[in-house]
Structure 1
């Protein structure tokens, strides 16, 4: 069982859109014993199972950015303490509510996958969503300078998150 799961997603044939997958590949090169890295084209419901088995999951994707925008890091979910029940407005409870009306199509977002994990496996691990700024979504396999720089920033953020 992996304690930490990195899921990097995006289309590697659409230039900057492949940044999430590249980050996941680079994290895999770290060869950390307690870290599993999954580069995937898109988020699908099948990922709920490995998510449910993790203690921490970090999603990485590209987003269309302006020249002023930078790396975005969002905490999505913190699991409730084993000694207390979640408050009505805690992220854990919100995930339970979301899972009751879950609409899983061909693709999903990280919050829906966490809700599905909670619904099916009774576990939604602590989660982060790192969004790498992207400016070029044309056909191609290379990254713009902005995205290249922010891939490195995202790796630094992941290191900070996993050493906590």
Structure 2
């Protein structure tokens, strides 16, 4: 059975910034046999090994959004069989910037360099409006956490 990883990252003490971790926790509650969830504070090089062993990886993070912006879903594997669910303006990654300020493409590149394997990958960005100290989500982020779970279900059923 192919393994699927859900890597949700962000700071749970900065309100909406913890949305990625919350999504990973909620997916873990589904208890699917081939799905492992990693709620983490930030992306670290140690994640490259489990990424290299997966068939599919879904990264989830919050992004600062305006009131007009919504959930973004990006395919990170050009030329792979799944078309993007929604396109967005992701700039190209420069170097191997690992950490919360970096992006998942750095970990995918590291997986390729170290383990000669890069799985199919998606990047779900949850709109966030409140980054103040706190542990609760704004209504906008709460709604989009639920939308991100629906997108994950859609991706993993393919």
Query: Into which bin does the TM-score normalised by the smaller protein fall?
Result: 0.7 to 0.9
Residue 128 (1) aligns with residue 128 (2): no
Instruction: Please report how far the alpha carbon of residue 103 of structure 1 lies from its aligned counterpart in structure 2 after TM superposition.
Output: 3.5
Unmatched segments (≥5 aa) in structure 2: 82-92
Query: Aligned residue for 1:119?
Result: 113
Cα 1:120–1:142, aligned 2, differ >3 Å: closer, same or farther?
same
Match of 1:8 in 2: 8
| Paired position in structure 2 for 1:25 | 25
Give the structure with higher Rg (CA).
1
**CA–CA distance in structure 2, aligned partners of residues 33 and 145 of structure 1:** 31
Q: What does the per-residue CA deviation read over 1:34-61, in whole Å, with 9 as the maximum and x for residues that have no partner?
A: 0000000000111100100100000000
d(CA) in 1 for partners of 2:132, 2:42: 18
The number of residues matched between the two structures is: 146
Confirm whether residue 51 of structure 1 aligns to residue 45 of structure 2. no
List alignment gaps of at least 5 residues for structure 1.
82-97
2:58, 2:122 within 8 Å by CA — same for their partners in 1? Answer: yes
The CA RMSD over aligned residues, in Å, is: 1.9
CA shift, 1:78, in A, is 5.6
Conserved? CA contact 1:78–1:127, under 8 Å: no
- Mapped to 2, the partners of 1:155 and 1:137 lie a distance apart of 21
Stretches of 4+ aligned residues off by more than 2 angstroms? 78-81, 101-108
